[in-house]
Chains A and B, each alone.
Chain A
């Protein structure tokens, strides 16, 4: 039992972080506003989770200008994708074991 829990990634204990990663792994790059609408959280909350994921190297920030407006979008890095995938595997194993 302990083995499975060891595979759990502490970075993904927050639901919002799991949500952010879920959206980013299936999209190329997503801007801040869209993430906020999808997850329905506040600006500050969103920003702190994003910067935590960025520090871990799971998410990269892309700043660009659309016309004159600065636009910040986020994308999952390869490290982030791997971390997310192994977290999901751990979840799956745990649940699979409970069901059988």
Chain B
């Protein structure tokens, strides 16, 4: 059953030089309990997509299209109604847990607060539930008092507090926006695994937003690759990684240094993608990647490619000349 559907989602931000189209027609459907990933580089619109779903777009932004969550179009809800969805039905964890947590409230209060508000339970019960949640995310209450303040914790521990807050409220959907990017490498894997385990135990759907192809490969069942405000390739994770059909997606993969994961890669130079991501005001109405693409043809500059099916119906790429599958 579809839990979240984005239908032709657009986000425009007026600037002094004109209206910048930050999101340019995003379609995606996420089932209850499904884990999907959005991957892309800075400025591609992946975080803006998350903010749109949460109803946290910047003041000046104008959203179009539909965001259907559990049968309601979130774009039509007023702020009090959206407030009831946020946190209770859709949880979110961010890249930087220090800015997402309130520095002057104890972590115990912050976890319990949401609990009491959304589940309407009493103080004692909330306290017990808080301790349970803390224990589950690896903050053993014997060592980590709920009376600690966020600044007394490390980055990884703070991210655990954020996860405990989500766990305590049991939303149907968890949006995780670069949840491990600010953390040390060895902590990243632990936190990622914890997020996945919690989602698994609670049956939450997961929308994971990341720049890291390894992270999305490890977690997501389906992946959407974004470039310049559009989805350029989408499908089951295995199918997308096996094919890398869109030249941008192929390019992202080839630009990664691979010595650590493949000893045979030693000494080879990287295939960089020339140029830079176009400014939203300078994006081509045709293919936004055309100027950086090694396989560009006249048609790419004249017409906008739609997402078309490739080898299978649920794997699609927005390219007139998709790359042939990698054979190995």
Co-assembled chains A and B:
no
* Residues in chain B within 8 A of chain A (CB atoms): none
Residues of A within 8 A of B (CB): none
